[in-house]
Amino acid sequence: MLGCIIACAPVAAADRAAGRDAEIHVWLDRWAAAFRDHDLDAIMAMYAPDVVSYDIVPPLQLVGKAAYRASYEHFLAQYQGAIEVEFRDLRIIAGEDIAFATMLQHISGTQKGGQRSTIWTRVTAGYRKINGAWLDVHDHVSVPSDFETGRAQLDLVP
Amino acid sequence: MLGCIIACAPVAAADRAAGRDAEIHVWLDRWAAAFRDHDLDAIMAMYAPDVVSYDIVPPLQLVGKAAYRASYEHFLAQYQGAIEVEFRDLRIIAGEDIAFATMLQHISGTQKGGQRSTIWTRVTAGYRKINGAWLDVHDHVSVPSDFETGRAQLDLVP
């Protein structure tokens, strides 16, 4: 057999699409809760072993979970207490077992020195459904760059 | 009917996955050719009307094709002659009608003032298959930021 038979009622297809969007929403809410609480193990359990991350800080890319974990650990260590995350303009595009989400993220918290820190970033996350669970296989987090001045645009607001 | 019947031979599924990866490769090669030639109409024909772009330059996001076209136009106008693009560490993750690709991109060309310009960027692109054709619904292009100095890392190499 060289082909597939796929037969769905439209209403069922729409229901399943809504269900997948809801599953990615759950992923994001769980991630935000773990991030807020500095729960590095809970965060990393949501990533695939072969995750490739384009992080907001150098280097250009982080390949694999160990490298990304080290970057998370370094980031979280700069904050004391809860790190709050707000999602804005969230868009989820989800298929049967591949999905991606795009959003603006507002990250705010208090740094170890006591100063308040807030930043708006752009985030793209790519997912695969593996053994029934959505795992993040790709993160891309950034702010725009100003080529005239060479400055990272760390203080933009949407 | 509330469910779906999906029956595929493994070999056929692998063939179809390889076919989808090849289709995204074709998209990327067509994009690179159009970009090299400053062919703005050809570039924009490869995007969906509701594309959301997180571009390398401000603002935080560009919503819709008109805004992204204006950004492309501004970028292309800075170069004279061909703009060469090299893909590195390309990864394509493609489902039936949703896909995304991640890669490092080396962009090089000669600016209007005569100076040579090269940069390595990180690119994530999200696609939907619409009426049988893959259209880009999301681009995210960036370089990392150095939080100590506030500098955009425009000269990193992989």
Q: What is the β-pairing status of strands A133-142 and A47-54?
A: parallel
Amino acid found at A151: R
Which of B142, B143, B154 would you mutate first to test chain A, the one with the most A CBs within 10 A? B142
**Helix, strand, coil % (nearest 5) of chain A?**
30, 45, 25
| Kind plus residue range of the DSSP H or E element containing A153 | none
CA angle at B66 for the pair B63 and B72, rounded to the nearest 5°: 95
Instruction: Check if the beta carbon of residue B104 is closer than 8 Å to that of residue B144.
Output: no
pLDDT in tens, A127-146: 999 999 999 999 999 999 99
> What is the rounded CA–CA span in Å between residue B111 and residue A34?
46
Query: Which chain A residue's Cα is nearest to B1?
Result: A9
pLDDT of residue A6: 58
Give me the pLDDT at residue B13, please.
81
ipTM of the predicted structure? 0.92
Q: What is the pTM of this model?
A: 0.93
* Mean pLDDT computed over A10-31: 89
A96 in contact with B, Cβ within 8 Å: yes
CB contact under 8 A, B140 and A142: yes
Cis peptide before B144 (omega within 30 of 0): no
List CB contacts (< 8 A) between A145 and chain B.
56-57, 142-143, 145, 152, 154
* Alpha-carbon gap: A34 to the closest alpha carbon of chain B (Å): 23
The model's pLDDT over A67-89, given as tens digits with 9 standing for 90+, comes to 999 999 999 999 999 999 999 99
Check residue A30 and give left, alpha or beta (phi > 0: left; psi -120 to 50: alpha). Answer: alpha
CA of A149: how far to CAs of A118, A146, B5, B99, B145, in Å? 22, 6, 57, 35, 13
Residue B5: what pLDDT? 55
C-alpha A13/C-alpha A106 separation (Å) is 33
Q: List strand residue ranges (DSSP E) for chain A, in order.
A: 4-7, 47-54, 62-63, 79-94, 98-111, 116-130, 133-142, 145-146, 151-152
- Residues in chain B, pLDDT under 50: 1
